Structure 1
């Protein structure tokens, strides 16, 4: 299974919390999706599933075209809801909600456990539809992928921060074995770069 984060949006560049807001890819994001799709197509996916938000669907569509597959949609793969923070920048959130910012818990937003549970459950449903040896590509979002990944790997919640965030159009590769899921690659597809997403600030790699 490949977890694939969507391409860049204007709100990513502006460091705005996107959450459930339906923001399109920008010009750079479209190019990123096309580049990544050309690489992922070589893996010969057998099933492509996307969040219903257009930034993920349009990213997945680039791969669907090359692979000759329809992109299926699952609302449970959407990003973590940001409640009152959606549309606000990191600086605005830090200034207005310093306590919640430290915990990265948005008023009116989704909890990390709720997101982890729904994303993991959704991916398990789609994996169950694969034939033996098949490959599932899931096009989703930064926080949703990291939290779902942590749940699938069976990590206790206090260790979830050890998984770093994903850059735009980067992906993580998992393989299911006799003892559960194993992480083969994480944040692959690009050289390390700053991660601007809806995930908590300390999940992003330090700038170099």
Structure 2
């Protein structure tokens, strides 16, 4: 068995998102705008037939998922495998500060090359594999007529989407990043998943 559809929802905005700081697995809460985004997305997604909700256990994702669970009248389950990429010692830094530490940072990003996010962090491929495996497992636990909602994080969900579709990390640069409280819809398949829609938003 597997879910008929899977909705991948990124959390609402935080102050660190707004200022362009690397959050990684730091437990940064939603700001007031993020709370409003979560409420708006929940109202739209409540009409899409969602039957099960699973979230990263980081606060910004849980708060977003709680709004959705309340709107759908469903329980919420958390899974730490859905956390954002671990950026290690880059936590709290912005792109310019990281580029000062890593001279190839901008070139690697533009070329679509994967690289470790700090000496103590993960690569995007490692993150995508981790998150995609969790999503597959939750989808396979659903009945064939269910719609599963996964609430998580921008880079983690984008790269996991590529992996679920049978693509490599380099292809992720062809897709816009997940906006805060934007979502994608995928249809699970045996060999690869199909993208139904991407970067939908209620606001």
Q: Which residue does 2:83 correspond to in 1?
A: 78
Structure 1 alignment gaps of length 5 or more: 192-208
Provide, for residues 39-93 of structure 1, a one-character-per-residue CA deviation record: whole Å limited to 9, x for no partner: 0000121110000100000000001001111110000000001111111112211
Tell me the TM-score normalised to structure 2 length: 0.89
Runs of 4+ in 1 over 6 A off after TM superposition: none
Q: Which residue does 1:201 correspond to in 2?
A: none
Instruction: State the superposition RMSD in angstroms.
Output: 1.5
- CA separation in 2, counterparts of 1:181 and 1:42? 23
Q: Which residue does 1:34 correspond to in 2?
A: 39
- CA separation in 2, counterparts of 1:98 and 1:125? 38
Q: Given the superposition, is the C-alpha separation of residues 94 and 178 from structure 1 closer, same or farther in structure 2, using an over 3 Å criterion? A: closer
Q: What SS does the corresponding residue of 1:42 show, helix, strand or coil?
A: coil
| Residue 164 (structure 2) pairs with residue 162 (structure 1) | no
Determine which structure has greater relative contact order: mean sequence separation of CA pairs < 8 Å that are 6+ residues apart, divided by chain length.
2
Q: Which residue does 1:97 correspond to in 2?
A: 102
Q: Which residue does 1:145 correspond to in 2?
A: 157
- CA separation in 2, counterparts of 1:93 and 1:178? 39
Tell me the TM-score normalised to structure 1 length: 0.87
- CA separation in 2, counterparts of 1:9 and 1:147? 21
Structure 2 alignment gaps of length 5 or more: 1-5, 110-114
Which residues in structure 2 correspond to 1:30-69 (within 5 Å)? 30-69=35-74
Q: Which residue does 1:194 correspond to in 2?
A: none
Q: Which residue does 2:199 correspond to in 1?
A: 187
| Residue 144 (structure 2) pairs with residue 132 (structure 1) | yes
- CA separation in 2, counterparts of 1:158 and 1:32? 30
Shift of 1:180: 3.0
Aligned length: 191
